[in-house]
A and B are shown apart, each in its own frame.
Chain A
Amino acid sequence: MGAYIARRILITLPLLLAVSFLTFLLISFSPVEPAEVILRAQEVPLITDELIERTNEELGLDKPFIIQYFHWLISSLQLDFGNSYVKNEPVWNLVGPAFINTFKLTVASTIVIIIFSVLIGVICAVNERKMVDRWMRTILFVFTATPSYLLGAVCIYLFSVKLDLLPTSGMEGVESYILPVLVTSLGYIGIYFRNIRSAMINNLNEDYVLYGRASGLSEYTITWHILRNSLQVAVSIFCMAIPLILGGTVVIENVFAWPGLGSLSIGAILNRDFPIIQAYVLIVAVAFVIFNMISDILNAMLNPRIRNDS
């Protein structure tokens, strides 16, 4: 097992390096020069070529590309992503708190997603092709096809405006989590419960279920065994949900005015604040790679066949 984990981590390292390189490379495709953006943001009245050159020098942008990359990589590892062009503040001071806010939303949503997709998946699988199963599948089918911002708007209209139960936006107190988490989760639940349901139905046809029933075990015990085996598939999917949500909250943060990474990056895009975009892409991409690795490792730990072979 140790060897497997070590190997998996070793594969991940070059991938992380490639990801960081690509993130850095992105900026060089920009049709606008960074120096120009900075000078504009500082409201310099006349932008001369000389001024641009001097700014480039200050930022080290005149050095060869590879050297710039290594500088950036090394300081990024220390969470130093440079200064925001627009706000002239260290990027981490802006990205750090935003990341934490987004992460809170992500964790809360992931917990809700896991609980409900397992619950609904089990209910549907146990009642395969009965009324409950059909209705659940139909309702969630519609939810997966609904854009999250539309769902968010409808929820705000219903719960905040009409019923006046929950805050429309912001991040104050537990009740402000309810709507964003609900809206984030629904789409994912609609996808993941199907995985659990079909995994359980496949397991239902396995011999061990027949033998369990033939041995007189209770339905509860048997369902537990089926769930245990079905969850193996699900654990890796759930693990990948975390970075997906992390990178996908942009729209929801906008709808609910959640002060997270998404809101921050939209602002940065409109202002062409490259260091923030860079930091955002890097953080989410690294999370993606790392969670991918964790999900593989977890999968191996849960599956005795892989665990013992290595």
Chain B
Amino acid sequence: MALLEVNNLRVWDAHTKRVIVHNTSFTLEEGKCLAIVGESGSGKSVTCRALAQLNKKSLCQDGEIHFRNERLQILSEKQMRKKRGKNFCMILQNGMTAFDPSCKIKVHLFETLKTHLNWEKKRSERKMIQAMESVNLKNAKEIMNKYPHQLSGGMLQRIMIALALALEPDIIIADEPTTALDTISQCEVMEQLRKIRLNMNCAIILVSHDLGVVRNIADEVLVMKEGKVLEKGDTPSVFANPAHDYTKYLIKTRSTISDNFIKLMERSNLVKS
């Protein structure tokens, strides 16, 4: 039995009637990592949000989403709300804007923990400190008392991951978690995601346009363009034998860049030696 099964998901704009995601189907097994790749505007984020029914009211969706054999569409908003955070935990692209700018970080953290686990402040704090230390955030207590603008994007991203750790969700939906970060923070964040997966055995849906990252972590890949799924399959085979021209193009551009990089490095090595 699959953890999450999506059948013919379709999302369209209620006003303009424009279809943003065309009949999309995929499954996610327990503890696996699925990557959704594509250029910006290809409907990746909308697909992810549709899973947790988080799209704007002006967007409509149909199709079937089964989570542990439970049909999500028939759930009330209240039941769905219980699932968000507890079962599906999201990590957003830009940590800098993901927290209420006028509140300390801990406000959001404690509110979330209180909602799902009914922990009081003391316990939430203790657990968060543990979780934050395990994602390499030192002085956790101090950090929780800061405002978002006082922290860096990478730190906020890791705080989101730490919150996910504390909530122990079944699926983490990471929507371009590394795009807004510098290279070093990118590595850190991806490292933490990998660790979570190993330790907690939770599934990950990773939205990214960074094929390098995808290749390293994902078990399966879904390639999207203009709201349509072009290709899906397990990572090694997609990368080795891309069936679709667009996938080939993506992989080729990626390798052109890295080939160039390698060439440059070699040349400089040659110069040095």
Interface string of A295-310 (1 = CB under 8 A from B): 0000000111100100
Interface string of A134-150 (1 = CB under 8 A from B): 00000000000000000
> CB distance B85 to A214 under 8 Å?
yes
Of all chain A residues, the one with the shortest Cβ separation from B58 is A129
Interface SS of chain B: helix, strand, loop or mixed?
Answer: helix
Does B90 belong to the interface (CB within 8 Å)? yes
> CB distance B97 to A215 under 8 Å?
no
Task: Report the Cα distance A305→B146, complex, angstroms.
Answer: 11
Does A207 belong to the interface (CB within 8 Å)? yes
For A305, the chain B residues whose CB sits under 8 A away are: 101, 147, 149
Does B112 belong to the interface (CB within 8 Å)? yes
Which one of B92, B98, B102 lies within 8 Å of A304 (CB-CB)? Answer: B102
> CB distance B115 to A216 under 8 Å?
yes
Interface SS of chain A: helix, strand, loop or mixed?
Answer: helix
> CB distance A215 to B147 under 8 Å?
no
- Residues of B63-98 whose CB lies within 8 A of A: 81-86, 88-90, 92, 94, 97-98
For B88, the chain A residues whose CB sits under 8 A away are: 214
Task: Report the Cα distance A207→B153, complex, angstroms.
Answer: 14
> CB distance B92 to A207 under 8 Å?
yes
Task: Report the Cα distance A302→B102, complex, angstroms.
Answer: 8
For B147, the chain A residues whose CB sits under 8 A away are: 304-305, 308
Which one of A208, A213, A302, A308 lies within 8 Å of B100 (CB-CB)? Answer: A208
Does B103 belong to the interface (CB within 8 Å)? yes
Does B11 belong to the interface (CB within 8 Å)? no
For B116, the chain A residues whose CB sits under 8 A away are: 216
Does A206 belong to the interface (CB within 8 Å)? yes
Q: Contacts A228-B100, A229-B102: A215 and B108 contacting too (C-beta < 8 A)? A: yes
Measured as residues with beta carbon below 8 angstroms from the partner, the interface class of chain B is 20 to 34
Does A76 belong to the interface (CB within 8 Å)? no
> CB distance A217 to B97 under 8 Å?
no
Does B111 belong to the interface (CB within 8 Å)? yes
Interface string of A52-90 (1 = CB under 8 A from B): 000000000000000000000000000000000000000
> CB distance A213 to B149 under 8 Å?
no
Does B152 belong to the interface (CB within 8 Å)? no
For A208, the chain B residues whose CB sits under 8 A away are: 97-101, 108
Query: Known contacts A210-B92, A216-B115, A218-B81; can you find 13 more A-B pairs with CB under 8 A?
Result: A208-B99, A208-B101, A210-B49, A210-B98, A211-B108, A214-B173, A215-B85, A215-B108, A217-B85, A217-B112, A228-B103, A229-B102, A303-B102
Q: Would you list 16 pairs from A and B whose C-beta atoms are within 8 A, ordered by A residue?
A: A207-B92, A210-B49, A211-B160, A214-B88, A215-B90, A215-B112, A216-B81, A216-B85, A218-B81, A221-B115, A225-B100, A225-B103, A228-B100, A229-B100, A302-B102, A304-B149
